[in-house]
Amino acid sequence: MLTLSRFEEYYTGTVSENTLNTQFLVSTFKQMLRWLVRENAKGITREDYKLLAYEWYDEEYLDALFNRLDAIANEYGYTFSAHPDDGACFGFWRIDDDF
């Protein structure tokens, strides 16, 4: 099981920046979900394995990946979102951080 300290060491902060290209974001978010599944992160479900099996690159799939990463992040007291000061900077941010 992925511990909070390991999550904070390896997964927090910026995941993607300087682009809103759907194909790039899908690839990046999918890779992040793959790593979290391998780490057996809290909140992993069968749906995550189904998401990893898809080969879509559309907005709906991007939203599904985004929502799953945010749900997993919430298990650790974090959120997965765009940085409030930069809408093209996505990552895991502590929920109580003041930006």
Q: How much is the pTM?
A: 0.92
What are the structural domain ranges in the chain?
A: 4-94
Residue-wise pLDDT tens digits, 31-42: 999 999 999 999
User: What is d(CA 19, CA 8) in angstroms, rounded to the nearest whole number?
Assistant: 24
Whether the Cβ atoms of residue 17 and residue 89 lie closer than 8 Å to each other: yes
pLDDT range class, residue 98, cuts 50, 70, 90? low
Could you give the percent of the chain with pLDDT greater than 70? Answer: 97
